[in-house]
């Protein structure tokens, strides 16, 4: 019985993963068809609209959360390190933590909740009201028309949001360093630059691109496969947020293990 249940979950998981991959492949194929006819892969206006919503609209929340997280981390670690007289390590510690790990992760979680939920609800509502099918029936390619601009906006803007998140966290850290640990502005910048290495920046940015892709794919797929009217849209939105956040954290953990154990850094 337990083995049967495990088998069922494994099969469902593999089916979902293969569906996500096919969604991506079909979307690229539809875009390729449109490009080969000398047209843009999707509407510029929809891309900018989604970009404004996913990117610009998320800046205040991402910055606020990262600012307070940076501030709290600096405060807590600083007081512990002061016991050993090493509070000067705080700026470097926060820099490495955010550029390498927390920036992409926090931004991913925030966007999964804010934009992933919106994508699922929006596409889900369009699915149950047959708007998606109408787009398909017109021969427009719903994946190219609906999914591609949303996914592209999210993937392209994730790195920018991660940079904003990292800067907001460092600003919070700077305030604590200035107020509580007597580290002035020049010192703070020197300590940050000393800790910041290109590899961490590149890894952080690569993670952010991957998280953008994961969030967009799961959210759009959940919306396009909604069944059962308004209640179905609600259920799909909840499941989509849970799935995107869990997947982002899971993939992040896997990448960290890979980085530490295989790449030895």
Which chain residues interact with another protein by CB under 8 A? 29-30, 33, 37, 125-126, 129-131, 133-141, 145
CB of 122 to another protein, least distance (A): 8
Q: Are 67 and 171 in contact (CB under 8 A)?
A: yes
CB of 52 to another protein, least distance (A): 14
Burial 54-90 (b: 16+ CB within 10 A, else e): bbeebeeebbebbbebbbebbbebbeebeeeeebbeb
Q: How many CB atoms lie within 10 A of CB 239?
A: 13
Torsion, CA 240, CA 205, CA 20, CA 8, rounded to 10: -70
- Of 116 and 142, nearer to another protein (C-beta) is 142
Number of residues assigned to the chain:
265
CB of 4 to another protein, least distance (A): 20
Q: Are 110 and 62 in contact (CB under 8 A)?
A: yes
Interatomic CA distance for residues 28 and 217, integer angstroms: 13
- Of 74 and 146, nearer to another protein (C-beta) is 146
- Of 80 and 129, nearer to another protein (C-beta) is 129
Give the DSSP H or E segment for 79.
helix 59-82
CA–centroid distance for 90 within its chain: 26
- Of 134 and 242, nearer to another protein (C-beta) is 134
Interatomic CA distance for residues 219 and 122, integer angstroms: 10
- Of 131 and 171, nearer to another protein (C-beta) is 131
- Of 148 and 248, nearer to another protein (C-beta) is 148
CB of 9 to another protein, least distance (A): 21
The residue assigned the tokens 């670690």 is 77
């Amino acid at each position: 019985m337990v083995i049967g249940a495990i088998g069922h979950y494994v099969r469902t998981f593999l089916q979902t993963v293969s569906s996500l991959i096919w969604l991506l492949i079909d979307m690229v194929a539809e875009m390729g068809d449109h490009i080969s006819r000398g047209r843009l892969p999707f509407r510029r206006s929809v891309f900018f609209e989604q970009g404004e919503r996913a990117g610009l609209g998320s800046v205040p929340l991402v910055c606020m959360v990262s600012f307070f997280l940076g501030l709290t981390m600096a405060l807590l670690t600083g007081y512990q390190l002061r016991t050993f007289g090493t509070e000067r390590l705080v700026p470097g510690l926060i820099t490495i933590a955010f550029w390498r790990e927390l920036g992409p992760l926090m931004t991913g979680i925030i966007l999964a909740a804010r934009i992933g939920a919106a994508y699922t609800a929006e596409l889900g509502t369009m699915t149950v009201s047959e708007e998606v099918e109408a787009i398909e029936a017109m021969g427009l390619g719903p994946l190219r028309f609906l999914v591609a601009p949303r996914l592209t906006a999210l993937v392209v803007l994730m790195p920018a949001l991660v940079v904003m998140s990292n800067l907001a966290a460092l600003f919070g850290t700077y305030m604590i360093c200035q107020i509580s640990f007597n580290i002035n502005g020049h010192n703070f910048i020197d300590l940050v630059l000393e800790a910041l290495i290109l590899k961490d920046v590149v890894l952080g940015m690569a993670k952010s691109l991957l998280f953008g892709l994961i969030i967009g794919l799961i959210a759009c797929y959940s919306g396009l496969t909604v069944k059962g009217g308004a209640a179905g849209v609600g259920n799909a939105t909840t499941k989509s947020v849970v799935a995107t956040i869990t997947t982002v954290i899971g993939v992040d953990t896997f990448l960290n293990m890979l980085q530490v154990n295989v790449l030895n850094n």
